[in-house]
Amino acid sequence: MTNRINALRENLANEGYGAFISLAPATNQYLAGFNGTTSAILITPEEALFLCDFRYTEQAQEQVHGYTIREVKGKLGVRLAEAVLERSLTAVGFEPHYVTVDELNTLQATAGKVFKEASETVSALRSRKDEAEIAKVRAASELAEGVLEDLLPELRPGITERELAARIEYEFKMRGASGPSFDTIALFGARSSLPHGQPGDRALQDGDVVLLDFGCRREGYCSDLTRTYAFGRIPGEWFQQIYELTLAAQRQAIEAVRPGVSCRDVDAAARDIISEGGHGRHFGHGLGHGVGIEIHEAPRLNPETTAVLEAGMVITIEPGIYVPGQGGVRIEDLIVVTQEGCNVLTRTQKELRVLSP
């Protein structure tokens, strides 16, 4: 973790901050190696301090290196602010999207208004993965893909969306994952038009669309995968048409991925194809997002982003077409941006597949 701390210190110095604090589990995992749910860190040019309560002291001693570990009692935010006050620090950076109003009020009530928003200080570091991080994302992806390939042949009429989602998540843990990286999406028939629909009691029938969006967390890193199938038979020409259009859009976007390219332009590469195919209004979400310790990280790929791709970024490319009352298609892969272009981590077949009952 020393390299990450030093990189953060360099960012802090360049941006005019005297120190950095965090109460966020994801940030503290990245900077300290701690995967517990409650902790705080304070990093100054000379010191790295890790705070936790009695529940996590032993875990911290095993996982956290390069920090002074301090066991504290009471409200963690107060203890963190007291540590800032003890050191007479000013211009202390924090990530505003990870700190609640209540937490900020607690910090300021103890140490004063020395806390300054530092939106990109850590997220910029986290967006570029090293080889060890990429290997962990790949391992999580391979585990999830193995679950998919083993479960698809077992699908039978009558299984519900909820049952299939539960089976997927059960297999994750049985195969070594700590759990899903987000709530599994399993949607059948017309319900596949819900981009982030929750699995319900809809039972699988012949001719259904089957949309599966899922991922697992392994060794602290996430995977993300979406595939869409027809069960028994293709439900109609409309489905084959939007499937082929979505696949063409995804392939075009992947071709556009390389360092220095705007994330907005990659989004447009897919969105233009879908719009030209007459389904622009049916593709209402962004093309993708970064994946790592969290399932949604920087960068974002959408029409409004100003982010630019850099080597080491791990992103999703996931265009979709969703026709209300009929069904939807989404195809999603994990992509690593390389110096020359990109590598696709996902290996699962993307061509239209009809599952046998």
8-state DSSP, 221: E
Q: What is the pTM of this model?
A: 0.95
**Domains by residue range for the chain, with CATH:** 2-126 (3.40.350.10), 131-355 (3.90.230.10)
What backbone phi and psi angles, to 5 degrees, belong to 19? Answer: -170, 175
357 pLDDT band (50/70/90 cuts)?
A: confident
Angstrom distance (rounded) from CA 111 to CA 158: 60
pLDDT in tens, 48-73: 999 999 999 999 999 999 999 999 99
What pLDDT sits at residue 108? 96
pLDDT average, residue stretch 221-235:
98
Sign of the alpha-carbon torsion through 160, 348, 257, 220: positive
pLDDT in tens, 3-28: 999 999 999 999 999 999 999 999 99
What pLDDT sits at residue 107? 95
Compute how many other C-beta atoms are within 10 angstroms of the C-beta atom of residue 181.
25
Angstrom distance (rounded) from CA 85 to CA 110: 8
Question: Which residue type sits at 159?
Answer: I
Pair type for strands 48-52 and 115-117:
unpaired
